[in-house]
Amino acid sequence: MRPAVVHCTRPPLEALLPVALVVAAACAHDSPAPATPAARTPAPTIATAPAAPPPLEATVQRLQQVALASKNGERLARSLATDVGARIAGGPKDRAAIEWALRAMKEAGLSRVRTEPVKVPRWERGAAAAEIVGGQRLRVLALGGSIATPARGLEGEVTEFADTEALEKADPATLKGRIVFINQTTRRERDGSGYGDAVGARFQGPRLAGEKGAIAAIIRSIGTDAEAPHTGATSRKATVPSAALSGESADALHAVITGKKRTRVRLSLQAEWHEDADSANVLGEIQGSEEPDQIVLLGAHLDSWDVGQGAVDDGAGCAIVLEAARLIGAVGHPPRRTIRVVLFAAEEIGLSGGDAYAKTHAAEAPLHVVTMEADMGTARAYAARFLGSTEARPHFERIAAMLRPLGIATEARDAFGGADMGELRSLGVPAFEIAQDFTSYFDVHHSENDTVAKIDADGIAQTAAAYASAAWAIAQMNDGFGRIPEVKRGSKW
């Protein structure tokens, strides 16, 4: 695709701030407060040769005041979820999502707005049905990337496992011709660790089941609610049809298995792989004034699964980074370094966008100062984490301290940095992570319940304030974060 390059002007930060907050901010910084909005001297813009910038902490405080008073992040998340909706990579809404992203970046005042082509996997879901033979129907959803059952469906005796570790130990002779059922519960944890512990059942479980001679794999959904089945990618090495049950259906199946020696399930899945499709990453920038080749990268993923509206995963993330960039652009003078926003293609079904970005920009990797990815939903942020050189820790701690007025603590544990940033992490690019509360996130994640009704407007505003604050501060500081030590460059996944 030919890049679309757009240059836009932005209103100054004070123009976005309610009058009462302008007066309070001015008094706080020993500046005379304007008598009325009309008497206020306009803040300098990029085009008017700005005066010396205010102290870093003062600008961050103003950014946070404006961000917390804004509903623009919520508006963006709702717009993507309602105007585009579910947007699986390469699917019928893929092009509409890209066009939405281009418009949103222009509206945010970003420059050099453009697309970079990406080939993405193209998988299409069809109907799904499951039932206990002689018993009740089960709520079921095919896992992303699953193959189809025969047109007439399939039927088999079920063998239950508590987790993938138990499945790995199973004798293949005992599973030949059977349906594997992995009944692993996802713990509800603020830091999302329950998901991290359970997700292997979805991704590796079907592959293991096929390798051991099973004819299908069903799992308890990797989610913390009971009602809806949750999809999500499974390994493309899986050779058997694979599906997820709602929590209630998993409990029902477990009860039948516990009460009987033999339990059979009938499963029907329609699904199809197509040739890889054309898609794109969407990029826009705030050009740096002194070190324009050095990049602070803000990312989120544009695609979603094909159920629900993709409002929380990752409409919220797209809204957070776009709103952060809009706020930074309104400061009135450009940052020292360039701030680049990337909305990645195909995170959900293969990380194609993140991988393509790292390949396209490999020569720039040493110039990427830090990555920040928003893919944690719509709840409030509560912790800042870092992954970079040990020597750079004091720089991180200074910036993280600026987030404390937002209720965000500094944590010593290493940042993960986000799935789309995995290849850049392997190249040593540091990560600054703003962790959001995952307590309720996995109630809706990858399910039909990921809708605009689940958007937390205050959470988006607070998290956008944190991203804007950290990105501005990083772009302004003289020092960088070094490189990630070799031993820490691998992905958790």
Query: What span, in angstroms and rounded, lies between the C-alpha atoms of 424 and 257?
Result: 46
What's residue 10's pLDDT?
Answer: 54
Lookup: tokens for 265? 């399930």
Indicate the pLDDT class of residue 12, thresholds 50, 70 and 90. Answer: low
Residues that are catalytic: 347
Indicate the pLDDT class of residue 13, thresholds 50, 70 and 90. Answer: low
Query: What span, in angstroms and rounded, lies between the C-alpha atoms of 180 and 176?
Result: 10
| Helix H or strand E encompassing 73 | helix 72-79
Instruction: Estimate the crossing angle of helix 72-79 against helix 94-107, to 10 degrees.
Output: 160
Q: Please report, as a single letter, which amino acid is at residue 482.
A: G
CB of 153 closer than 8 Å to CB of 129: yes
Q: Which residues pair with 115 in a beta bridge?
A: 282
Q: Which residues pair with 245 in a beta bridge?
A: 140, 220
Query: What span, in angstroms and rounded, lies between the C-alpha atoms of 234 and 461?
Result: 33
What global pTM score does this model have? 0.90
Domain with CATH 3.40.630.10 in the chain: 44-121+276-488
Q: Which residues pair with 339 in a beta bridge?
A: 286, 296
Query: What span, in angstroms and rounded, lies between the C-alpha atoms of 414 and 435?
Result: 11
Q: Interior CA angle at 443 toward 438 and 449, to 5°?
A: 125
What's residue 260's pLDDT?
Answer: 84
What is the Cα Rg of the chain in Å? 24
Residues 348-399 have pLDDT tens digits of 999 999 999 999 999 999 999 999 999 999 999 999 999 999 999 999 999 9
Query: What span, in angstroms and rounded, lies between the C-alpha atoms of 372 and 341?
Result: 10
For 193, residues 6+ apart whose C-beta sits below 8 A from its C-beta are 187
Indicate the pLDDT class of residue 51, thresholds 50, 70 and 90. Answer: low
Domain with CATH 3.50.30.30 in the chain: 134-262
What's residue 16's pLDDT?
Answer: 57
Domain 44-121+276-488's class? alpha beta
Which DSSP state fits 143? P
What's residue 261's pLDDT?
Answer: 80
Q: Please report, as a single letter, which amino acid is at residue 181.
A: F
Question: Does residue 181 have a pLDDT over 60?
Answer: yes
Q: Per CATH, the architecture of 134-262 is what?
A: 3-Layer(bba) Sandwich (3.50)
Query: What span, in angstroms and rounded, lies between the C-alpha atoms of 330 and 108?
Result: 10
Burial group, residue 235, by CB count within 10 angstroms (0-12, 13-18, 19+) = middle
